[in-house]
Amino acid sequence: MDEAGLLRSCRVHGHAGAGAKGSDIVCAAVSVLTRTVVRVLSEQKDITIRGSIPGLGNFQLEADYKKEGREFLDAAGAFLSEGLLSVSEEFPDNCKVNIERRNFHGT
């Protein structure tokens, strides 16, 4: 999150370990949340996203926006953070969420 609370980057890493490969409900929940955010942000003309999957169980996303995309990016960040926090609250041994606020220059 940037200083204003907007989603500017996200990193997911590790394996939840809440079930066998292919049937881990925590992994599935985190995957659905992050994939949904990537899909909806990638369709917005005033938001630019860059991402990578450096390895199995790892995901990185960065987002830049024009003024017109600010409100949508704010809503997407709220969706993602609340969703991940909800998963973490329900499965605290399998999902840890760390939300950091950083200064992003240039926007």
Would you list the domain boundaries of the chain?
A: 9-90
Question: Are the C-beta atoms of residues 76 and 7 closer than 8 Å to each other?
Answer: yes
- Which residue from 77, 101, 85 is spatially nearest to 2, judged by alpha carbons? 101
pLDDT of residue 21: 74
The string of pLDDT tens digits covering residues 56-104 is: 778 888 999 999 999 999 999 999 999 999 999 999 998 998 887 777 6
pLDDT of residue 106: 52
Residue 105 has pLDDT above 70, yes or no: no
